[in-house]
């Protein structure tokens, strides 16, 4: 068995008025609690360092970038996370808003990194599926301006080796799209990490608001089951600057079962000792891609 002891480190609200050092201190406390559980890996949410700012229209680009984005990683304010990780010998996943200067221009991404037990960044992913709308909609009570604030990620879905297994990272809205899991599943992913910030109220489909929790777990359980992989979904949860966000952070087994879940909408760890070898049966029986998949009939998926 290849056991990875995973701590899903859900975070409660981060207000627009919370200074980053205060939020990082909460995360360090969660990392220390995870260490007391002998965790090998701590998974923090999407955009963990700040409020889920895409719900507001922020016209001043300079203010937007200075307040919510990181121009380097580790940065001064996030260094305590890397230092604590190295001190405790624990790895972590962190979601944050990234400014990068690449290809001769400035770019903004909704990014997640995986850092190993020595404090080294071993993987970077940039969110592919950006939900919401690219224009400010004053008639909406809250916005979802990810398409205005971020570019589509340029790294695709690349599996990587970590903790003796094959890992993948997706972010939030990615979890609703089967392709996110399948592209990683085709690379043999055994554990997929996913942070999320999900407002219960979706102005584009308010009729579905009452299904927010159901539509949170449903795709992650399906993605886990259909690709024989663990899925770790971690929320920034609770009522953040007046707007409720889905919690129920969960660790989902390769059979699609929720084997650990947070009971509150605050800072809370859901913990499970995950045996990566449990993925074998799914990948060699029902979901033996080589034996059962028929890509010659799927071309519409990539051609349209």
3-state helix, strand, coil in the chain (%, to 5): 30, 30, 40
The distance of closest approach from Cβ of residue 52 to ligand ING in the complex, given in angstroms and rounded to an integer, is 7
# chain residues binding ligand ING, by CB under 6 A: 10
Q: Which residue in the list 70, 98, 124, 127 is annotated as catalytic?
A: 127
50 near ligand ING (CB under 6 A): no
Choose one: 9-17, 151-159, 194-202, 224-232; the region binding ligand ING (CB under 6 A). 194-202
CB of 275 to ligand ING, least distance (A): 28
User: By C-beta, is 198 or 221 nearer to ligand ING?
Assistant: 198
Q: Is 256 left (phi over 0), alpha (psi -120 to 50) or beta?
A: left
Alpha-carbon separation of residue 276 from 90, 165, 185, 273 (angstroms):
18, 7, 14, 10
Tell me, yes or no, if 272 is annotated catalytic: no
155 is catalytic: no
CB 38 within 8 A of CB 26: no
Question: Binding to ligand ING by residue 172, rule CB under 6 A?
Answer: yes
Residue from 10, 198, 227, 279 binding ligand ING (CB under 6 A): 198
What tokens does 191 get?
A: 């554990």
Residue showing tokens 């940065």: 75
Q: Does 176 bind ligand ING (CB under 6 A)?
A: yes
**46 an active-site residue?**
yes
Residues 200-219, mask of contacts with ligand ING (x by CB under 6 A): --x-----------------
Which position's Cβ is nearest ligand ING? 173
Question: Where are the extended beta strands (E) located within the chain?
Answer: 3-10, 41-43, 69-70, 91-102, 105-115, 121-126, 160-162, 165-171, 191-196, 230-235, 238-240, 243-245, 250-252, 258-261, 268-275
Interface residues with ligand ING (CB under 6 A) are: 131, 144, 172-173, 176, 196-199, 202
């Amino acid at each position: 068995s290849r056991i990875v002891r995973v701590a899903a480190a859900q975070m409660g609200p981060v207000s627009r008025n919370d200074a980053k050092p205060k939020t990082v201190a909460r995360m360090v406390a969660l990392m220390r609690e995870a260490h007391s559980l002998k965790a090998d890996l701590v998974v923090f949410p999407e955009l963990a360092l700040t409020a889920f700012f895409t719900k507001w229209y922020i016209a001043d680009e300079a203010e937007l970038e200075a307040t919510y984005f990181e121009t380097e990683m580790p940065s001064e304010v996030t260094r305590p996370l890397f230092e604590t990780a190295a001190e405790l010998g624990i790895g972590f996943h962190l979601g944050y808003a990234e400014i990068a200067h690449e290809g001769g221009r400035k770019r903004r991404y909704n990014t997640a990194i995986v850092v190993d037990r020595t404090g080294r960044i071993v993987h970077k992913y940039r969110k592919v599926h950006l939900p919401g709308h690219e224009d400010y909609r004053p008639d909406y009570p809250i916005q979802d301006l990810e398409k205005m604030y971020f570019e589509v990620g340029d790294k695709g879905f690349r599996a990587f080796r970590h903790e003796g297994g094959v890992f993948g990272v997706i972010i939030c809205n990615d979890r609703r799209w089967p392709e996110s899991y399948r592209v990683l599943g085709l690379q043999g992913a055994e554990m997929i990490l996913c942070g999320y910030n999900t407002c219960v109220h979706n102005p584009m489909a308010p009729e579905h608001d009452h299904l927010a929790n159901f539509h949170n777990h449903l795709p992650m359980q399906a993605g886990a089951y259909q690709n024989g992989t663990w899925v770790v979904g971690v929320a920034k949860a609770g009522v953040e600057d007046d707007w409720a966000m889905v919690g129920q952070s969960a660790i989902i087994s390769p059979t699609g079962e929720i084997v650990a879940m947070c009971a509150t909408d605050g800072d809370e760890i859901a913990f499970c000792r995950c045996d990566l070898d449990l993925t074998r049966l799914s990948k060699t029986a029902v979901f033996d891609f080589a034996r059962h998949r028929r890509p010659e009939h799927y071309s519409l998926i990539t051609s349209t």
